[in-house]
Structure 1
Amino acid sequence: MQKDQLLTRRRALLAGAAALGAAGAAGLLIEGTGDEEPAHGAAAAGPQARQALTPSAYRLQPLAGYGSPRAEPGRLKVRREPILRVSGRGRTMVLTYDDGPDPHYTPHILDTLAAHDVRAMFFVCGEMAVEHKELLARMADEGHVVGNHTWTHPLLTQLGRAEIRDEMERTSDVIEDAYGERPQWFRAPYGAWNRAAFQLGAEMGMEPMAWTVDSTDWMTPGTSTIVDRVESGAGPGVVVLDHDAGGDRSQSVRAIREYLPYLIDSGYHLTVPPRRRT
C-alpha cells in the first residue's frame, strides 16, 4: 500500500473509531475504580515544577502486573483485557510509540531517547518495518523493546480470525528478521481489542499492551498540548501512548524533547518491561 493511501485509510478509520482511538476500547477498558494513582502523580516535584494540570481524561483503569504465568509450556495465558499499567519500584513509567518506524520522525525520537539514556517501546507496523529494517536494528542496539502492531494497521474487529493471524504473523516475522527476536508484546490498532486478538497473541507468545495515558498526538493538537497531556498524566506505572508515524509527527518529536527531561528531573524512571524468559 502506498504511503498516501495508507494515511487516507487511517484517517477514515480514525473518524469511524474516534472513541476507540482516544480511550483505548472504551467499552472494555474505561471502568473507574476510584483507586487510581493521582493523574499528575509527583510530576510537580521536579526542580522545574510547573503548575498542576487537570488529570488527563484519557487515564484508564489500571491493571496491576504483567508477564502472566503460562497456561502450558510455550504458550501464554489468554487475557480478557490488555495490560494498561506496568509494575516497578518508585516512579517507573513507560513511553510507547505506535505506527512506525518512519525515516523522517523515528530517528529524531531515538536521538532524544539516547541523549537521556532512556529506553522505550515501539509498536511497529509490518509494512513500515519491512521498508526500514535498519531502524529496528538500531532499536535493538540501543535497548528498546519492539512490539507487534499488525501489518497494515486495520480495525481488528472488522477482520476474520485468519486475517488477524496473517496481520500478526507477518509482522512478527519481519521484527524477528530485523530486530533479532520475535516480539513479546502486541498492541491492537486503535485500541480495538477482540477475543481473537487476545487468543492469537497468546499463541504467538505476545502479551497485550494498551496504555494509561493518551498524549493525543495522533490528532496533532499542538506540541504544548501533547506535553501537557504527558506531564499531567505522569504517575507510577503509567504507560504513555505516542506515535512516530501515521502522519506528520513533528509535534511528537518536539514534545518528547520537552517532556522527557522534565519527567526525569521530576524523579521518574523511564524504562521498559523486562524481557520474558522463553
Structure 2
Amino acid sequence: MIIEKANVKVLRVFAENWFRTLDIEEITKLSNLGRTWVYKTLNNLKKYTLIIEKNKRYLLNMENNLCLSLKQAFDIERVYMLDKKIGTNILSLLNHIKLKLGNNLSSVMLIGSTARMKTWEESDIDFIVVAKGKLEIAKPDINIILLSQEEFEKKYMECDEFVLTSLAYGLLLYDTNFIINFLRKPLPFPTSEKIEEKKEFVRKTLERIYTLLEINDMEQTNKELKNILTLLARIEILKRKEIPKCRLELIEQTKDKFLSEPLGKLLKGKVFSKNKILEICERIENYIE
C-alpha cells in the first residue's frame, strides 16, 4: 500500500512538471518522500514505461497514453483542491461551455494564477477555449481566450510565450485529443530571430510610453511599463530554455533584479513618477541592445 501511495505522489509531481526533466533531489522535495522511497518508486514506474531516465534525470513518458490520461486526471484533481467556491465556479463554467459549443468544442484549459494555485483577492479566472464559432460569457472576473485550432497551432509554431506557458502550467479540463497531441512532444523554444522580434515590439512600446509621458497620461504609462517589463522578464526566462510562469511568479523566476524589482512594485499597485519611468526606460533601451 505504501508503494502504491508513493507511486501516486511521484506521478503527481511528474504530471505537474510534465514538460521538464527532474533529478532525485527535486522529486524528493516535491513529493515529500524519502530518497529511498523515491528510488524504489522510480524503478517501479520505469518497469511500466511511465517515466524515462536519461543522465540521472527523469521525465514523464508522454508517448504513453496512460501518462496522458493521468495528467488530465491530476489536472481535474487540482481544481477540486482550490477554494470550494472557485472550484465549483470553474466546473460549472466548464459544463456551460460544453453545452454552448457542443461538437464545435475541442479543448478547455484553465490557465494563469488560478491554475498555478496562486490565487489572490483580485485574481481573475482565465481559460483558453479551442473551438469553432463564437462564445460569449458575460461574467465578472472570468476571462476566456477563444482560439480556433488553426490559431492555436499557429501560435504554437511561432513559440508564442502565452501558449507555451498555458501548455506547461495550465490545467487540461476537457479535450478531444487536440491539446493532447501537443503534450506528446517537447515544447519548442523561440529562435534568436523570434527573440529579436519581441525586442522590436519592446522598442515600439517604448516609443508609445514616451508619447504618453508627453501628455501626462501616467495611468496608461504605468500600465504599458508593466507590460513591457513582463515581456522582458519572459524573454529572459525563455533565453534560459525555461518556460515562463504566470505573471505573479515571474518576479521570483527571473534572475535579473532590474526587471523583477520594478515589475514587483507595479504588480502591487505602485505608480511610478515621470522621472522614475524615464530612468527605467533608459535602462530598458540599454538592456535590449
Shorter-normalised TM-score: what interval?
A: under 0.3
Larger Rg: 2
TM-score with structure 2 setting the length: 0.26
TM-score with structure 1 setting the length: 0.26
